[in-house]
Amino acid sequence: MWNFVSPRIVFGEGALDVLDELQGQRALIITDRTMLQIGLVDKVKEHFRKAGIEAHVFDEVEPDPSVQTVQKGAEVARHVKPDWIVGLGGGSPIDAAKAIWVLYERPDIEPAAIAPVEELGLRKKARLITIPTTSGTGAEVTWAIVLTNTGEKRKMGLGHPENIADIAIVDPEMAAGMPPRLTADTGLDALVHAVEGYTCSWHTDLTDGLCLQAARLVFKYLPRAARDGQDMEARERMHNAATCAGLGFGNAMASMAHAMGHSLGGTFHVPHGRAVSLFLPYTIEFFAPQAPERFAELAVFVGFPNASDEKAARAFANQIRDLCRKVGNPTSVAEAGIKRKAYESQLDKLVDDALNDTQMVTSVRTPSVEEMRQLFLYSYDGRPVDF
């Protein structure tokens, strides 16, 4: 027995117009200052004005949102008393909106205890709308929440199926202003979701197709979107790819590249998509000797057939490295600009955090402490994994 959860998804050009028809009194838009500066908050507020809904803004979400930030946002929500909460932005504001919503409805819960084991009883005070302005996190259609414990410099994988959005608005115009670097980082995040959602131990028939199509779209359209931000066909297909991948991995799980990426990101603040895509090929090479079949299937589906399963899995890892290079992204931790001395001084923490990340539960091969240490070292140098 398992569940497939999804919001109502309104997608395509003009999707934002769905806001005009909403019923309610007050909305609280959870976002960051960049969204305010580039005018996307005003654009959303204008739609709420048409709907006759009073819109308030909490714009203090930082990259890798902290527990403290969502607690502050929840205080604002308790003051505003919204009946709609809106996550507007990339993964950070959307994840923060989910957490703020939970804490607004359930002030008795600690953020670190938002987990899918007991009923939350949400939707008594408000409902959630998600509006992604990047094409990658899939946060608009998942119930996952990643918060950072700033004291421990550790990312926490949280969430509950109940905190899935009621409406996800996937409008490519909202992502049209992304600069090339952000386009590449977030687009590669979508690829990692697709690959890990397809290959993790919790994949299902209902998620496989979404992951396969998302991977194919990313290989085809990400180089175009990163090269020319005005290529609206590429933008739209990448926006759809991110949502497909989000539905795919959100109803299966991510895996070890996410565990390692969370660990690196929590310690060195490497952007999420850059971190997870950097590690993905190394994790595929680590899995290849024991569980290559699904990587080989994926490789065939996206157009890279090869002779045997393990060989195909390893070739697929290199195809991902090629895509990273094509869009100007690092394929090793060293290329990501982290100094060896600083990295090695944090190695024990990186290993420990990765092994204890919630995404590790679906890993198709579980590394020992020493193997995880070697994975981090190989990834630093850019050496293909051979153990």
Q: Which residues, numbered 29-68, are part of the site for other proteins (CB under 8 A)?
A: none
* Nearer of residues 21 and 119 to other proteins, judged by Cβ: 119
Nearer to other proteins, 49 or 373 (CB): 373
For 312-325, give one letter per residue: b (16+ CB within 10 A) or e: bbbbbbebbbebbe
The answer to the question of residue 95 lying near other proteins (CB under 8 A) is no
Binding residues for other proteins, rule CB under 8 A, total: 23
Q: Tell me, what amino acid is at 192?
A: V
Burial class (CB in 10 A: 0-12, 13-18, 19+), 298: buried
Among 23, 110, 124, 341, binds other proteins (CB under 8 A): 110
| 358 belongs to the binding site for other proteins (CB under 8 A) | yes
What angle do the packed helices 232-250 and 180-199 form, to 10 degrees? 30
Nearer to other proteins, 358 or 379 (CB): 358
Residue 355 interacts with other proteins (CB under 8 A): yes or no: yes
Handedness of CA 375, 278, 188, 258 (dihedral sign): positive
Asked if 280 contacts 258 with a C-beta cutoff of 8 angstroms, the reply is no
Our finding on whether 357 is near other proteins (CB under 8 A) is: yes
Q: Which is nearer to other proteins, 345 or 356 (CB)?
A: 356
Instruction: Rule CB under 8 A: choose which of 11, 202, 301, 304 binds other proteins.
Output: 202
Q: Does 201 bind other proteins (CB under 8 A)?
A: yes
Amino acid at 231: D
Kindly state whether residue 1 participates in binding other proteins, applying the rule CB under 8 A.
yes
DSSP 66: B
- Examine residue 205 and tell whether it contacts other proteins (CB under 8 A): no
Region from 72-80, 113-121, 311-319, 379-387 binding other proteins, contact rule CB under 8 A: 113-121
Q: Which is nearer to other proteins, 320 or 354 (CB)?
A: 354
Helix (H) or strand (E) holding 155: strand 154-159
Distances (CA, A) of 86 to 28, 62, 63, 296: 6, 16, 17, 39
∠ Cα 150 153 155 (to 5°): 90
For the record, the structure tokens of 131 come out as 């509006």
Compose the 153-192 pattern: x for residues touching other proteins by CB under 8 A, - for all others.
---x-x--x-------------------------------
Contacting residue, 8, 37, 112, 179, with other proteins by CB under 8 A? 112
Minimum separation from the CB atom of position 115 to other proteins (A): 6
Cα gap 179→355, rounded to integer Å: 33
What is the rounded distance in angstroms from the CA atom of residue 63 to the CA atom of residue 174?
19
Question: What is the widest separation between alpha-carbon atoms in the chain?
Answer: 62
Minimal distance in Å, beta carbon 264 to other proteins?
A: 18
Segment contacting other proteins by CB under 8 A, of 48-56, 123-131, 298-306, 366-374: 366-374
Q: For residues 52 and 93, give the distance between their C-alpha atoms in angstroms, rounded to a whole number.
A: 24
| Contact map string, positions 114 to 143, toward other proteins, x by CB under 8 A | -xxx--------------------------
Residue 190: strand, helix, or coil? helix
Give contact residues for other proteins (rule: CB under 8 A): 1-3, 110, 112-113, 115-117, 156, 158, 161, 201-202, 355-358, 360-361, 366, 368-369
